[in-house]
Structure 1
Amino acid sequence: MHRRFLLVLGFLVFVITIILFTQSKPETSYTIIEKLSLFRKIQNESDIHPDVKTVPKNIENIPDIYFESRKRPSQYNKTCAKFPKLFDLKFTSDHWQTQTTTNGTLQLFNAYLDDREIDEKNWFVRIVGLFDQINPNQTFYCQFWMDTVQEPVVVTSEKFVLIWNLSWGRKKGLYLPYLITCPLAKGKIPMSVSLVEFPCDNPTNNLRISYEKVEEEKRKNFVMQKVLDHYAESGKTELVPITLVGGVSNNPFLQNKYLKEKTLERRLQEVIPYNDCLYKHLQEYRYVVLLDTDEIIIPSEGKWAGLLENLRKSHPNKTSYMARNVYFFDHLLPHYFEEFPPYMHMLQHVYRAKNHTKPGAYVKGFHDTVQVLALHNHYPIKCVRRCDAVSINVTWAQLQHYRHDCVKDLKNCDSMKASSVLDTQIWNHAAELVERVQKTLKELNFLD
């Protein structure tokens, strides 16, 4: 069943990719004169062709000004803090901007404006990235580049926040994930930021500052990210490309093998997209939930909104509400339930391990975007004040985890597998699930 599911999923992604590729063919055909004109524009590093409306997604951390005719910032003087030209920027694996320091190398992924009411005078610009040093003590600086000011505004960064617990694993020379913060006077929104070791450094990075203000009444409760192109195309999710850094091949076959065999390295780098997701949707959603595609938080009654309302009443002002993990193993399928399609794995697998994993182990939860600053996939790492998470009572909700086996480091896996119970809570949503899944399969021509 598991192999069949992966095959169907792979075919789904393949078909949708073909559809997207077909639809993305350029509609404009250019004459020789127009092509020469476009080539000269690219050579002169001025406007891109007017038919190109947006910067491609895979270079979205580059400021738009590089592709526009607006006047650019300049410098402090001829040798100090120069606004970098486009091809002065250094990249690693397309999606990371690189800055070399005296102690190591920074790989910077994205920058974001944080306008939460944390400080009376300041907003903050947050940068997520990797650094091949453990808890660096040296001072760094943000060079803020403004639309209408020639010189950069230079401020001292706060101490780097390691988005990792070193007791989980460490190796010398590995890139570690960090949240880097620079204060910014309220009311001023730079177009971009460069992170440097010394105020006068000429940077080789220049990150566009991501910010999209959402009116409070339009703010939604939750955000979930999945990797199905179909839902990205329909506007329900966003697919963000990312690559590995640190001398690793990004050939799909080698990358997949690396991620399977290098567990620590994978866990260190996967923290970056979690926090990228948090800050890109900071103004849009009140809560974020970090879930893999083989797990879901199921309330015993109702849906997430009602569950969260009850949790906030019983445990107000918590940074996170964490659901305990319980395994629904693949082998716990004595027979198929004829009332549901056989390909709907979660509706068919309703036998689970009798016991949940212990509180705090392998949990997932709802994180309050007003309070959290940095997220690991299981816990908040850093909060505006103290991180104060509460465990959801299993009679209210649980994290249902659908797997072939336990995670490798779970010591009591055999006893988990030996004792099982029937748990049909997910059937509360069966009618809606079946209707929506079949509708999608028909849209993709997998069902008549």
Structure 2
Amino acid sequence: MTQEADKDVIAEDEELEEFPPVEENIDPLKAKPLIDWSKKLTEVETLYGLKKTIPSLPIATLLDYRFHNMRGDSNCATFPKVYELNFNNMYWQQQETSNGTFFLLNAYLDVRERNRNGPTVRIMSTMDRIEPQVKAHCQLWFDRIKEPIISEVFEYKYMWFHRWGNYRNGIPQPYILSCKIPETHWKKQLLSVSIVEDPCTKPTNMLKVHYNVPEEGKPKEKFGICVKGLTFPDVDLSLRIIEWIELLKVLGAHKIFFYEFKVHPNITKVLNHYVETGFIDVTPTTLSGFLPNEPDLNNLYLKSVGSTQFMNELVLYNDCFYKNMYRYEYISVLDIDEVMMPKQHDNWEQMMKQAVLDSIQLTNASAAVYDFRNNILTI
């Protein structure tokens, strides 16, 4: 054995000595087994745990027995139990109709001043039809009101352009469904919404209506970042993601919102670290309908059918927009290989102050959207 090899053996032995020595002559009858003695969760505690896993579920409402009792004698739309909801691929809820199937992801309350329709519920969804030929309704469930308020879906906002491909029935098409809240209920607490065809049928879906506003007394943050569903099950991009996150932090990002299909274990460790610091948020996601969601098959499918990936991205991007529209002054869409890099300023805040001034000089108004030139660097 060479001297160099001897050094390697010694080094390995020294590393082994760092571990605590194994106790000998242990009485197996007195040894304590490594068993988790945590308290067993009750059914209610288990369901409340789903608030993080499936944020669309109105858990508190579904488990409020007083709420159920109030609707026990309802003449319209019996209130469902949590086990009666129809789920699709974990994070989507499903509603069959006479002409197609809705897959529902999340619902948001839109009370923006420029919303010409007044307070509105926006529902992120897909449907396996290119043009919905069904008269759908929203059942709006308010706190301590016996029956749901019925509001017809007045808009099916298509989030796709037919020339981009996949414009055919059978493939989940991205839509935002919109229902107006009657003026008589503007000041009442809206808890959840269900999509049905017949206004008085018992729903098989119920989405929590999110209204994410800053804590009282706190202003909007400046910059929130939305990132499409990550799908890197077998590629370790952890170092690249760290560099990207830290660069965005320097430029002025307040928080990054990721959606995740499946990623390499090292990427998961990185994401978990930044979640603990509060700088990022990670939302697990799947494809709706019959599309493949087994991690490796999902990754191959999205790579081979680019238009399907883009259609799904539009649902997630809009979900991110509506989730954060009250909390951030600017929301940007970026991939993990993209950065808005100021050429004349040190950070985004300085850059956007100048952009707003330039916009007002040109049009006498600030713009609703700012577009940045894309430059591809090959290294």
Say yes or no: TM over 0.5.
yes
> Amino acid of the residue matched to residue 221 of structure 2?
K
**1:76, distance to aligned residue in structure 2 (A):** 7.3
**1:118, distance to aligned residue in structure 2 (A):** 3.0
CA distance in 2, matches of 1:309, 1:174: 43
> Amino acid of the residue matched to residue 370 of structure 2?
Y
**1:139, distance to aligned residue in structure 2 (A):** 2.6
Q: Is the 8 A contact 2:135 2:197 kept in 1?
A: yes
* RMSD over equivalenced CA pairs, Å: 2.4
Equivalence for 1:182: 179
Helix, strand or coil at the partner of 2:123: strand
> Amino acid of the residue matched to residue 375 of structure 2?
V
> Residues 161-194 of structure 1: CA distance to partner in whole angstroms, max 9, x if unpaired?
0011112112332111111111113222311000
Is it true that 1:110 corresponds to 2:106 in the alignment?
A: yes
Equivalence for 1:236: 279
Equivalence for 1:307: 351
Is it true that 1:63 corresponds to 2:63 in the alignment?
A: no
**Please, which moves more after superposition, 135-144 or 316-325?**
135-144
CA distance in 2, matches of 1:285, 1:208: 21
Q: From the superposition, tell whether residues 58 and 29 of structure 1 become closer, same or farther in structure 2 (CA, over 3 Å).
A: closer
Equivalence for 1:88: 84
Q: From the superposition, tell whether residues 226 and 144 of structure 1 become closer, same or farther in structure 2 (CA, over 3 Å).
A: closer
Larger RCO: Structure 1 or Structure 2 (Cα < 8 Å, ≥ 6 residues apart)?
Answer: 2
Q: From the superposition, tell whether residues 200 and 69 of structure 1 become closer, same or farther in structure 2 (CA, over 3 Å).
A: closer
Q: From the superposition, tell whether residues 118 and 76 of structure 1 become closer, same or farther in structure 2 (CA, over 3 Å).
A: farther
Equivalence for 2:169: 172
**1:68, distance to aligned residue in structure 2 (A):** 4.5
1:29 to 35, 38, 42: 38
**1:261, distance to aligned residue in structure 2 (A):** 0.7
Percent of aligned pairs with the same amino acid = 33
CA distance in 2, matches of 1:125, 1:28: 44
Helix, strand or coil at the partner of 2:90: coil
Equivalence for 2:153: 157
> Amino acid of the residue matched to residue 86 of structure 2?
K
Q: Is the 8 A contact 2:105 2:123 kept in 1?
A: yes
Q: Is the 8 A contact 1:140 1:156 kept in 2?
A: yes
**1:217, distance to aligned residue in structure 2 (A):** 5.3
Q: From the superposition, tell whether residues 134 and 120 of structure 1 become closer, same or farther in structure 2 (CA, over 3 Å).
A: closer
2:375 to 318, 326, 329: 326
> Residues 177-229 of structure 1: CA distance to partner in whole angstroms, max 9, x if unpaired?
11111111322231100011221222111001111222585101210136533
Q: Is the 8 A contact 1:81 1:200 kept in 2?
A: yes
Q: Any unmatched runs of 5+ in structure 1?
A: 1-25, 331-448
Q: Is the 8 A contact 1:58 1:94 kept in 2?
A: no
Q: Is the 8 A contact 1:125 1:182 kept in 2?
A: yes
CA distance in 1, matches of 2:354, 2:284: 37
**Please, which moves more after superposition, 154-163 or 95-104?**
154-163
CA distance in 2, matches of 1:194, 1:133: 20
Q: Is the 8 A contact 2:98 2:134 kept in 1?
A: no
Q: From the superposition, tell whether residues 27 and 280 of structure 1 become closer, same or farther in structure 2 (CA, over 3 Å).
A: farther
Helix, strand or coil at the partner of 1:270: helix
Equivalence for 2:307: 264
Q: From the superposition, tell whether residues 226 and 284 of structure 1 become closer, same or farther in structure 2 (CA, over 3 Å).
A: closer
Q: From the superposition, tell whether residues 154 and 53 of structure 1 become closer, same or farther in structure 2 (CA, over 3 Å).
A: closer
Is it true that 1:192 corresponds to 2:192 in the alignment?
A: yes
CA distance in 2, matches of 1:211, 1:279: 9
Aligned positions, number: 290
Q: Is the 8 A contact 1:75 1:81 kept in 2?
A: no
Equivalence for 1:205: 205
> Residues 40-90 of structure 1: CA distance to partner in whole angstroms, max 9, x if unpaired?
xx3xxxx337xx865442221111222455433526746x41211111110
Helix, strand or coil at the partner of 2:340: strand
2:366 to 317, 337, 342: 317
Q: Is the 8 A contact 2:137 2:150 kept in 1?
A: yes
**1:130, distance to aligned residue in structure 2 (A):** 0.2
**1:107, distance to aligned residue in structure 2 (A):** 0.2
**1:266, distance to aligned residue in structure 2 (A):** 1.4
CA distance in 2, matches of 1:247, 1:94: 12
Q: Is the 8 A contact 2:121 2:178 kept in 1?
A: yes
**1:116, distance to aligned residue in structure 2 (A):** 0.8
Q: Is the 8 A contact 2:129 2:168 kept in 1?
A: no
2:136 to 112, 137, 140: 140
